[in-house]
Amino acid sequence: MGGHSHWATIKRHKSAQDAKRGKIFTRIIRELTIAARGGGDPDGNPRLRLAIAKAKEANMPGDTMKKAIQRGTGELPGVSYEEFSLEGYGPGGTALLLEITSDNRNRTVAEIRSLFTKNHGNMAEAGAVAWQFHKKGLLTIDKGKVEEDALLSLALDAGAEDVKSGEKSFEVITNPQDFEAVKKALADAKVDPSLAELTFVPQNTIRLEEKDAEQMLKLMEVMDEHDDVQKVHANFDIPDDVMEKVAAAAAG
C-alpha cells in the first residue's frame, strides 16, 4: 500500500477533529468555488459534481454550497483564488506534491518553504518531483465488504485500470475519465468505498522505518494543516507495524 493510502487512513481518523475546526468546510468551499468557474451546472461539470458530492458527505448546508458555487460563477462577489502546485522532498528522499489554492501566491510559497525547512524537508523546483506522480481515480474499499474476485470483475468491467489488495483494504485505480463510471458501478452493486477521489498516485514508493516515518507523518500533518493546502501527495510507504508504533507514540 502506498503513501497515499496510509495518509488517507490517517486522515479518516482525524476527520472528526477537522470537522470541528471547520477545516473540511473551508477546503470544500474553495473547491466548489474553483470548480464552478467551469460552469454552475453539475450535470455538465464533472469537477463540480464531485465537489458537491464531497460537500454532501460532510453535511454542508445547502445554502453554503449554493453561495460557494455562485462565487465561482460570478453571481456573487468573493475572493479570487489561484490554483497551483508546489513540490519538495521529505525524510528518506521521499517526494511530496502539494495542491494549493491561494489568494496570495508569494505569501503561500514563503510559508510552505518555511514548513519544509522546519520539518526535515526542502522545497524543490517546479517539475522536480511531479513526474513521479500520475493523476488517477482512487477508490478504497474495506475488506469484508466485498470478495476480491467479485470486486475485480465489477471494477475492471466498469473500466478500472487496476485493483490492488492490501492488508485491510482494496484499492481500485482508474484513469480520471473513468472514475465516475467505476464509482457508479460500485454504488449500483452496493459496494461503498471508504474513500473515493481524484488524486495523484506515486509511480514508486520509498519505504520508511521508525524515525523517518515519524518525521514524514509530522511533515504531512503540518502541510495538511496549512489553510492554502488542498491536498498533500507523497510517495512514502510505511509498514503497518511501524505505522502502529508511530501512531501509538503520537497518541501517548
- Reported pTM: 0.81
Task: Domain of residue 46: give its range.
Answer: 3-73
Give tens-digit pLDDT for 111-123: 999 999 999 999 9
Report if residue 10 sits inside a domain: yes
Rounded CA separation 133/235 (Å)? 8
Rounded CA separation 109/105 (Å)? 6
Cell 498533500 belongs to residue: 232
Rounded CA separation 151/169 (Å)? 12
* Residue 129 backbone phi and psi in degrees, to 5: -125, -15
Query: Domain with 16 in it: what CATH number?
Result: 1.10.10.200
| Cross-strand pairs, 51 | none
Q: Which three cell numbers stand for residue 18?
A: 477537522
Report if residue 36 sits inside a domain: yes
Report if residue 160 sits inside a domain: no
Report if residue 11 sits inside a domain: yes
How many domains does the chain contain in total?
A: 1
Report if residue 117 sits inside a domain: no
Give tens-digit pLDDT for 17-48: 555 557 788 899 999 999 999 999 999 999 99
